[in-house]
Amino acid sequence: MEFYKYQGTGNDFVMIDNRSGEWNHLEISDIAKLCDRRFGIGADGLIKINIAEGYDFEVDYYNSDGSKSFCGNGARCSVAFAFFLDIFESNCNFIAIDGPHEAEIHNGIIKLKMSDVEMISMDGEDSVLDTGSPHYVKYVEDLIRYDVFAEGKSIRNSENYKEKGINVNFVEKNGQDGIFVRTYERGVEDETYSCGTGVTAAALTFMQKNNLISVPVKTLGGNLAVHAEKNGSSFRNIWLEGPAKQVFKGKIDLI
């Protein structure tokens, strides 16, 4: 199998050009092995770029354990990969597990239109919302020293969320109108350097609290930005913006 490795603010992915359908047969065990950091390539997830009627391409995303979901940074890396494959010039429309998306790329910066968010629910003092994947958002202090793995794992496996799982985002204000976000991701079952849908979820809660339309976001893997329009309790025209880069390519035997 020929593959490419991409990263978007430290969130890394195995990318496969599957427009021929050659890798439709990949099993969950194959995906988990390819994503394994000791016995495979190593990645937070695997993405197949497929042909999709009516769209420029399909983003077929799998977490490192083989489960399916939508991934914001994975989608941005997919746009960069599709651009590298000459599938489109600067603007594209693609389909993913959560529905259709628009995106554009300029000088290595990808702007991705996210799904609308109808409402932000509350779980005590914390927020719960779906930005293509379900997210729990908790504001904390001294985030750089916070035990994201232990606290995130505890919330993700709590009674309300253990069956379907939830991504857990810890947020701290950063500067006047920005935030710092660290995320425990379901499917990876660990903290990742960045999470696109998580950054979006955290930014929307910050927008709601502070009446903003744009929020710069710091993650362990780099900087992103989220822009949105608020309409009552819902958000529309949500865009996630940031870099995505090809790291290397290679070939691997599926044995």
Residues tagged active-site = 71, 195
Least Cα distance to 3 among 29, 33, 28, 198 occurs for: 33
Rounded alpha-carbon distances, angstroms, from residue 180 to 27, 40, 149, 212, 224: 36, 31, 16, 16, 10
Judging by beta carbons within 10 Å of its beta carbon (0-12, 13-18, 19+), is residue 231 exposed, middle or buried? Answer: exposed
Burial readout 53-77 (b: 16 or more C-beta within 10 A, e: otherwise): eebbbbbbbbbbebbebbbbbbbbb
The one-letter amino acid code at 202 reads A
213, two tokens: 């339309």
Q: What is the rounded CA–CA span in Å between residue 200 and residue 182?
A: 12
Q: With contact defined as beta carbons under 8 Å apart, do 153 and 184 qualify? A: yes
Query: How many of the other CB atoms lie within 10 Å of CB of 29?
Result: 9
